[in-house]
């Protein structure tokens, strides 16, 4: 077998870790794949770790012991987070985004991969210390963001729908009052979607009064599971009747359709 050089080792290790965030790889795995000693591998990992932290690409964590190894955490530098949030705030403050009914057009943002990937990395940092089994969201605009959060946490994504699908088998259904529309909505999820006793992180694009969060919490209780955190891209200043740890990246401070004025701020909890 041809000897694998240092450059090839660095490429393989970096690619493997980045493509599988939060997944623990044993040093033995890499040693066998690359035909190298653990001492050599440790030097390679140290170098990659330094480069990641210097360039803001995330960080590597090593776990000692027989069951240990290394895994990749896709977080950003604090200054890069602030730069991104300022960009997002300014992008959303365009008065042309105000649509009839006093709403803000954000579809181009929540379905832009470059935007939601960075937002998802911030949520990884915010909820990194939480014990999480699933990432959950409701259809439809929160799915893209939640899917990246699920990928970065290396956890399954579950989606609550507004109507049941016969292809999902038996479902659990609850009714809740939407904080955005003020109307009674239905939330449904397949009985096979979540295991009993699971800990769930809820991700969504927008939160006004917290009605959807309360609905999700009630739905999860039917699975004997718990909501351990809530992450939303944008929240209004309205009082939230939410009794769980929640973080919004931006706060909608003012929306005046008559004067065509819209103002956002960065949530200080996020950058503190």
Within this chain, do residues 49 and 125 fall inside the same structural domain, yes or no? no
Q: Tell me how many helices (H) and strands (E) the chain has.
A: 9, 12
Within this chain, do residues 16 and 96 fall inside the same structural domain, yes or no? no
Report pTM. Answer: 0.91
- For the segment 232-236, the average pLDDT, to the nearest whole number, is 94
The angle formed by the CA atoms of residues 179, 187 and 225, to the nearest 5 degrees, is 100
Within this chain, do residues 170 and 187 fall inside the same structural domain, yes or no? yes
Q: Where are the beta strands (DSSP E) in the chain?
A: 59-63, 69-73, 98-99, 103-104, 134-138, 157-160, 171-177, 184-190, 199-207, 226-236, 246-256, 261-266
Q: Among 154-158, 222-226, 236-240, 247-251, where is mean pLDDT lowest? A: 236-240
Residue 1 lies in a domain: no
Within this chain, do residues 85 and 206 fall inside the same structural domain, yes or no? yes
| Residue 72 to residues 137, 151, 259, Cα–Cα distance (Å) | 24, 12, 47
Q: How confident is the model at residue 81 (pLDDT cuts 50, 70, 90)?
A: very high
pLDDT at position 65: 81
The total domain count for the chain is 2
Strand partners, 209: none
Query: Domain with 13 in it: what CATH number?
Result: 1.10.10.10
- Parallel/antiparallel/unpaired status of strands 103-104 and 134-138: unpaired
Q: How confident is the model at residue 252 (pLDDT cuts 50, 70, 90)?
A: very high
Within this chain, do residues 43 and 153 fall inside the same structural domain, yes or no? no
Within this chain, do residues 86 and 121 fall inside the same structural domain, yes or no? yes
User: What domain range is 114 assigned to?
Assistant: 78-271
Within this chain, do residues 178 and 245 fall inside the same structural domain, yes or no? yes
pLDDT at position 23: 97
In this predicted structure, the answer to whether residue 1 has a pLDDT above a threshold of 60 is no
pLDDT at position 240: 66
Model confidence pLDDT, tens digit, residues 117-163: 999 999 999 999 999 999 999 988 899 999 999 999 999 999 998 87
pLDDT at position 66: 76
Q: Residue 169 corresponds to which tokens in the numbers above? A: 């088998």
Within this chain, do residues 69 and 87 fall inside the same structural domain, yes or no? no
Within this chain, do residues 95 and 140 fall inside the same structural domain, yes or no? yes
Model confidence pLDDT, tens digit, residues 178-216: 766 677 888 899 899 999 999 999 999 998 888 889 999
Residue 136 lies in a domain: yes
Model confidence pLDDT, tens digit, residues 5-18: 999 999 999 999 99
Within this chain, do residues 53 and 168 fall inside the same structural domain, yes or no? no
Task: Output the CA torsion 113→114→117→119 (10° steps).
Answer: -120
Kindly state the percentage of the chain with pLDDT values over 90: 71
User: What is the gyration radius of the CA atoms in the chain, in angstroms?
Assistant: 21
């Amino acid at each position: 077998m041809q000897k694998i050089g240092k450059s090839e080792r660095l490429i393989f290790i970096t690619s493997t870790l980045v493509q599988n965030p939060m997944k623990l790889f044993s040093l033995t795995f890499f040693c066998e794949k690359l035909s190298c000693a653990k001492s050599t591998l440790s030097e390679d990992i140290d170098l990659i770790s330094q480069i990641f932290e210097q360039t803001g690409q995330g960080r590597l964590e090593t776990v000692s012991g027989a069951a240990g190894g290394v895994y990749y955490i896709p977080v950003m530098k604090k200054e890069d987070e602030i730069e991104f949030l300022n960009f997002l705030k300014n992008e959303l403050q365009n008065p042309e985004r105000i649509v009839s009914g006093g709403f803000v057009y954000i579809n181009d943002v929540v379905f832009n991969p470059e935007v939601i990937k960075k937002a998802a990395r911030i949520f990884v940092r915010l909820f990194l210390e939480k014990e999480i089994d699933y990432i959950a969201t409701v259809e439809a605009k929160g799915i893209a963001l939640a899917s990246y959060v699920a990928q970065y946490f290396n956890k399954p994504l579950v989606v609550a729908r507004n109507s049941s699908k016969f292809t999902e088998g038996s479902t659990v259904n609850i009714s809740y009052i939407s904080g955005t529309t003020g109307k009674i909505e239905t939330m449904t999820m397949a009985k096979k979607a979540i295991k009993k006793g699971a800990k769930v992180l809820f991700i969504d694009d927008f939160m006004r009064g917290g009605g959807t969060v309360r609905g999700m919490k009630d739905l999860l209780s039917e699975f004997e599971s718990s909501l351990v955190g809530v992450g939303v891209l944008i929240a209004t200043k309205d009082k939230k009747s939410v009794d769980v740890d929640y973080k919004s990246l931006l706060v909608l401070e003012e929306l005046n359709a008559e004067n065509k004025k819209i103002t956002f701020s960065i949530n200080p909890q996020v950058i503190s």
